[in-house]
């Protein structure tokens, strides 16, 4: 897994308070929230009851104490959760976030009132307090995320789902900061479509490290046949897909190539790779790199074909959000006359986890030019039925911006007789989506995985990462 994709998250927690509302509400909120965070395996940083009244934030001094606490833990905190068990002091809470200097996502929750508890001793008024707090956050220039319902109970299922969604958002935003992409080899000459701007990526904090294939070939040639590292990679390749049809020497060469790529990735702290998959590898080593890419993507270190750097970054965003392996494919074929379905296809790079009965074979399309015997390593398999999120980042030199589109659909199991890695997908209003892709000049590649995370990706990129993102479902 990439060093930047987090499984364990830590949230800074602020419990808002206002003196003339019942104090026990703050104590209840802290207790209920602690249980929810523990159930979801989330660590927290929160004022204790000795650092402020009941551990809440109500005054300027409380705001400073909370900010100092968060600042001390700034390298650990991945997001901030604000709880309003009553109206809260909107200014103090906003000041706490502002003074902390944190630039992480912020979730705002407000507790709901009960109709039988509207007297002075029990009422909350969080419904109103949330509006006031959001106004103050916006004045401070602090972006924030809202719960699915305006008010909800901390101990309820709605808030638990909101918190799980927020963890995906925080994981994605964290993962995208300081990404290092490995570009291995030159872009195939015919693929103008995957050209990109390194300078625009650098502006968004993404670095590209390059490696020439000639260096790869030299390092592969230096590896001993008896190197234990080769045996380790060989085992990974055999576990990934059925290799019964592949000659042993071809598998051995693949394993050597895998060792070289992996060691360069580790030495350079690479998070995701884009590789020149044809035709130099076939002509020099007599193999395809697809299976290696499949294994790496399955390990949440996504790898894209044809040196599609923006495609690799798109895969990485999907994988880091959902912790589900991502693939890259062509928008490849119509599916008969069904306008809401199409075929997504690539020679053989999909992660095995997403496929039914993956088998390693040859890449017959490329084989027509280099010989099928030189294309061993392509994975063949059909993508399992289930939910689908598709996503694409692209650098637009004409506007000087990185932009994206995202949406959801379904992988279906309609009959399809073809080879390679393939998926039949059903997407609502597909014709307008394809029109948008063409008119806006997006690439023919798209990243995808088994998840339902379009809303999270859209919010993360538009609100927290400053990237224009078209959400097809909202069009």
Residues 147-171: tens digit of each pLDDT? 999 999 999 999 999 999 999 999 9
User: What are phi and psi for residue 349, nearest 5 degrees?
Assistant: -115, 0
Pairing of strands 468-471, 401-412: parallel
Decide: helix, strand or coil at residue 331: strand
Where would I find the beta strands (DSSP E) of 174-317? 180-184, 207-211, 272-275, 303-304
The CA radius of gyration of the chain, in Å to the nearest whole number, is 25
CB-based contact 181:313 (threshold 8 Å):
yes
**In this predicted structure, what is the pLDDT of residue 64?**
98
Q: How far is CA 135 from the centre of its chain?
A: 30
Confidence grade of residue 422 (pLDDT, cut at 50, 70, 90): very high
**In this predicted structure, what is the pLDDT of residue 433?**
98
What's the sign of the alpha-carbon dihedral 251, 253, 255, 261? negative
CA atoms of 385 and 324, how far apart (whole Å): 15
Residues 353-390: tens digit of each pLDDT? 999 999 999 998 999 999 999 999 999 999 999 999 99
Pairing of strands 401-412, 421-426: antiparallel
Mean pLDDT along residues 444-464: 98
Q: Where in the chain is the domain with CATH 3.20.14?
A: 180-474
**In this predicted structure, what is the pLDDT of residue 117?**
79
CA atoms of 413 and 388, how far apart (whole Å): 13
Residues 62-72: tens digit of each pLDDT? 999 999 999 99
DSSP 347: S
Mean pLDDT along residues 289-293: 98
> What is the side-by-side order of every strand in the sheet holding 79-84?
43-46, 10-15, 79-84, 106-110, 145-146
pLDDT at 475 over 60: no
Question: What class has domain 180-474?
Answer: alpha beta
Angle at 186 between CA 375 and CA 355, to 5 degrees: 45
Q: Where in the chain is the domain with CATH 3.40.50.10940?
A: 10-176
pLDDT at 27 over 90: yes
CA atoms of 322 and 138, how far apart (whole Å): 28
* DSSP for 175-235, written as a single string: HHTT-EEEEESPPPTT-GGG---HHHHHHTT-EEEEE-HHHHHHHHHHS-TT-HHHHHHHH
Decide: helix, strand or coil at residue 345: strand
Mean pLDDT along residues 109-135: 90
**In this predicted structure, what is the pLDDT of residue 474?**
66
CA atoms of 82 and 106, how far apart (whole Å): 7
Tokens, residue 112: 């709901």
Specify the residue for token string 């046949």.
225
Question: Mean pLDDT over all residues of the chain?
Answer: 96
Nearest to 198 by CA among 296, 313, 342: 313
**In this predicted structure, what is the pLDDT of residue 115?**
82
Confidence grade of residue 118 (pLDDT, cut at 50, 70, 90): confident
Mean pLDDT along residues 335-348: 96
Mean pLDDT along residues 303-316: 98
Residues 82-102: tens digit of each pLDDT? 999 999 999 999 999 999 999
User: What are phi and psi for residue 243, nearest 5 degrees?
Assistant: -110, 15
Class of residue 80 by CB neighbours under 10 A (exposed 0-12, middle 13-18, buried 19+): buried
CA atoms of 365 and 77, how far apart (whole Å): 48
CA atoms of 407 and 449, how far apart (whole Å): 11
Mean pLDDT along residues 315-341: 98
Decide: helix, strand or coil at residue 169: helix
398 CB contacts (<8 Å, ≥6 apart)?
Answer: none
- pLDDT: is 22 or 357 the higher one? 357
**In this predicted structure, what is the pLDDT of residue 24?**
87
Class of residue 366 by CB neighbours under 10 A (exposed 0-12, middle 13-18, buried 19+): buried
Tokens, residue 178: 């300081």
Residues 200-259: tens digit of each pLDDT? 999 999 999 999 999 999 999 999 989 999 999 999 999 999 999 999 999 999 999 999
pLDDT at 293 over 80: yes
pLDDT at 473 over 60: yes
pLDDT at 299 over 70: yes
Specify the residue for token string 């990706």.
457
* DSSP for 67-109, written as a single string: HHHHHHTTTT--EEEEEESSS--HHHHHHHHHHHT--S-EEEE
What is the CATH T-level fold of the domain 10-176, as seen in this structure? Answer: Rossmann fold (3.40.50)
CB-based contact 379:349 (threshold 8 Å):
yes
């Amino acid at each position: 897994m990439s060093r930047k994709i987090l499984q364990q998250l830590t949230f800074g927690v602020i419990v808002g308070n206002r003196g003339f509302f019942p104090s026990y509400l703050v104590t209840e909120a802290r207790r209920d929230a602690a249980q929810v965070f523990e159930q979801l395996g989330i660590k927290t940083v929160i004022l204790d009851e000795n650092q402020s009244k009941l551990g809440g934030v109500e005054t300027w001094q409380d705001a400073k104490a909370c900010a100092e606490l968060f600042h001390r833990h700034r390298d650990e905190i991945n997001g901030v959760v604000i709880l309003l068990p009553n109206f809260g002091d909107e200014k103090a809470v906003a000041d706490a976030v502002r003074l902390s200097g944190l630039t992480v996502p912020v979730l705002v929750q407000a507790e709901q009132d009960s109709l039988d508890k509207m007297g002075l001793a029990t009422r909350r008024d969080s419904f109103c307090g949330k509006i006031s707090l959001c106004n103050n956050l916006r004045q401070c220039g602090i972006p924030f995320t809202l719960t699915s319902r305006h008010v909800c109970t901390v101990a309820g299922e709605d808030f638990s789902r909101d918190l799980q969604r927020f963890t995906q958002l925080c994981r994605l935003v964290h993962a995208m900061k300081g990404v290092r992409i490995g570009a291995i080899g030159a872009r195939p000459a015919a693929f103008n479509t995957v050209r990109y701007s390194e300078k625009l990526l650098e502006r968004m904090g993404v670095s590209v490290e390059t490696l020439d294939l000639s260096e790869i070939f030299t390092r592969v040639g230096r590896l001993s046949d008896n190197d234990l590292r080769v045996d380790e990679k060989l085992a990974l390749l055999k576990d990934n897909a059925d290799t019964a049809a592949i000659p042993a020497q071809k598998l051995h060469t693949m394993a050597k190539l895998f060792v070289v790529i992996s060691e360069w990735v580790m030495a350079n702290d690479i998070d995701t790779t884009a590789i020149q998959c044809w035709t130099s590898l076939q002509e020099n080593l007599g193999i395809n790199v697809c299976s290696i890419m499949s294994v790496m993507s399955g390990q949440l270190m996504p790898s894209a074909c044809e040196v599609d750097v923006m495609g690799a970054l798109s895969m990485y965003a999907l994988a880091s959000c959902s912790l589900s392996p991502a693939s890259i494919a062509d928008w490849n074929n119509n599916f008969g006359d069904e306008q809401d379905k199409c075929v997504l296809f690539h020679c053989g790079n999909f992660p095995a986890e997403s496929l039914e009965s993956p088998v390693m074979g040859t890449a017959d399309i490329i084989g027509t030019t280099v010989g099928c015997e030189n294309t061993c390593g392509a994975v063949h398999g059909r993508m399992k039925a289930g939910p689908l999120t598709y996503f694409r980042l692209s650098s637009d030199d004409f506007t000087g911006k990185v932009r994206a589109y995202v949406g959801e659909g379904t992988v279906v199991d309609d009959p399809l007789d073809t080879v390679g890695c393939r998926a039949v997908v059903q997407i609502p209003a597909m014709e307008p989506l394809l029109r948008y892709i063409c008119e806006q000049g997006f690439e023919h590649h798209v990243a995808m995985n088994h998840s339902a995370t379009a809303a999270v990706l859209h919010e993360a990129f538009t609100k927290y990462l400053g990237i224009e993102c078209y959400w097809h479902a909202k069009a």
